[in-house]
A and B are shown apart, each in its own frame.
Chain A
Amino acid sequence: MNFNFTEEQQEFRLVLRRFLEDKSPTTEVRRLMETDEGCDPEVWRQVCQDLGLTGVHIPEAYGGQGFGFVELGIVLEEMGRALLCAPYFASTVLAATTILNAGTEEQKVTYLPPIAAGDVIATLAFTEDNGRWDNEGVEMTATASGDGTSGDSYTLNGTKSFVLDGATASQIVVLARKPGSTGDVGLSLFMVAADADGLGRRKLKSMDPTRKLARLEFKNVSAALIGEEGGAAVPFARTIDQAAVCLANEMVGGADKLRETAVDYTLLRVQFGRAIGSFQAIKHKAADMLLEVESAKSAAYYAAEALDDDTEDWPAVASLAKACASDTYMQTAIVTTQMHGGIGFTWDNDTHLWFKRAKSSEAFLGDSHHHRELMMQRWQD
Chain B
Amino acid sequence: MTEQTEGEIRSEVRAWLEANWDSNLGLVEWRLKLADSGWGVPTWPTEWYGKGLSDGMGRMIDEEFERAGAVTVARTGIRNLAAATILAHGSTMHKEKFLLRILTGEDSWCQLFSEPGSGSDLAGATTRADMKGNKWIVNGQKVWTTSAHHAQYGLLLARTDWDVAKHKGLSYFILDIEQDGVDVQPLRQMNGHASFNQVFFTDAVIEPEFLVSELGDGWKVATTTLMNERRGADGLRKYAKATEQPGRAYAEEAEEIAHQLEPYKWYPQRAGRVDLVIQRARETGKLDDPTVRQEIAKLLTLSKTTQWTAMRARAAQEQGGPPGPEGSLGKLSASNVARKAALVHTMLSGADAMLTGDDSPLEGVIAEILVSTPATSIAGGTDEIQKNIISERVLKLPKETRFDTDRPFREVPRNIVE
Is A346 touching B354 in the complex (CB atoms < 8 A)? no
Is B350 touching A131 in the complex (CB atoms < 8 A)? yes
Q: Does A295 interact with chain B (Cβ within 8 Å)? A: no
CA distance A348 to B377 in the complex (A): 19
- Smallest Cβ distance from A89 to chain B, in angstroms? 13
Q: Which listed residue, A334, A342, A367, touches B114 by the CB 8 Å rule? A: A342
Mark contacts of A334-374 with chain B using CB atoms, 8 A cut-off: 1 yes-contact digit, 0 otherwise: 10011001111111110110011001101110010100010
Q: Which listed residue, B291, B349, B374, B404, touches A344 by the CB 8 Å rule? A: B374
- B383: chain A residues at CB < 8 Å are 338
CA distance A367 to B358 in the complex (A): 22
Given A207-B370, A359-B346, A369-B291, also A131-B402 (CB < 8 A):
no
- A351: chain B residues at CB < 8 Å are 190
Closest to A370 in B: B350
Measured as residues with beta carbon below 8 angstroms from the partner, the interface class of chain B is: 35 or more
Q: Does B120 interact with chain A (Cβ within 8 Å)? A: yes
Given A345-B378, A347-B190, A359-B346, also A127-B367 (CB < 8 A):
no
Q: Does A281 interact with chain B (Cβ within 8 Å)? A: yes
Within 8 A of A (CB), among B334-386: 339, 346-347, 349-360, 367, 370-371, 374-375, 377-379, 382-384
Mark contacts of B96-125 with chain A using CB atoms, 8 A cut-off: 1 yes-contact digit, 0 otherwise: 000000000000000000101111110010
CA distance A275 to B85 in the complex (A): 33
- Smallest Cβ distance from B277 to chain A, in angstroms? 16
- A343: chain B residues at CB < 8 Å are 116
CA distance A271 to B119 in the complex (A): 8
- A161: chain B residues at CB < 8 Å are 351
User: How many contacting A-B pairs (Cβ < 8 A)?
Assistant: 135
CA distance A337 to B378 in the complex (A): 9
Q: Does A270 interact with chain B (Cβ within 8 Å)? A: yes
Q: Does B393 interact with chain A (Cβ within 8 Å)? A: no
- A341: chain B residues at CB < 8 Å are 119-120, 378, 382
- Binding stretch for chain A, among B12-20, B244-252, B408-416: B408-416
User: When A and B form their complex, which 4 residue pairs have the shortest distance between CB atoms, in order from nearest?
Assistant: A273-B404, A131-B351, A352-B190, A347-B188
Chain A interface residue count, CB cutoff 8 Å, equals 45
Given A334-B374, A367-B350, also A205-B356 (CB < 8 A):
yes
Q: Does A3 interact with chain B (Cβ within 8 Å)? A: no
- B358: chain A residues at CB < 8 Å are 205
Is B415 touching A269 in the complex (CB atoms < 8 A)? yes
Pairs across A and B, CB under 8 Å, 19 listed: A132-B351, A162-B354, A205-B355, A205-B357, A207-B355, A207-B356, A207-B371, A270-B414, A272-B120, A272-B404, A337-B374, A338-B384, A345-B375, A345-B379, A352-B190, A359-B353, A369-B291, A369-B347, A373-B291
Per DSSP, chain A at the interface is: mixed
Is A279 touching B384 in the complex (CB atoms < 8 A)? yes
- Smallest Cβ distance from B37 to chain A, in angstroms? 42
Is A363 touching B354 in the complex (CB atoms < 8 A)? yes
Binding site for A on B (CB under 8 A): 114, 116-121, 124, 143-144, 187-190, 192, 291-292, 339, 346-347, 349-360, 367, 370-371, 374-375, 377-379, 382-384, 387-388, 400, 402-404, 412-415
List 17 extra interface pairs beyond A273-B414, A362-B353, CB under 8 A.
Answer: A127-B351, A204-B355, A205-B359, A205-B360, A206-B356, A207-B355, A272-B124, A273-B402, A337-B378, A338-B377, A338-B384, A343-B116, A346-B187, A347-B190, A355-B371, A363-B353, A363-B354
- Smallest Cβ distance from A358 to chain B, in angstroms? 11
Mark contacts of A190-225 with chain B using CB atoms, 8 A cut-off: 1 yes-contact digit, 0 otherwise: 000000000000001111100001000000000000
Q: Most B CB atoms within 10 A — which of A208, A269, A272?
A: A272
- A367: chain B residues at CB < 8 Å are 346-347, 350
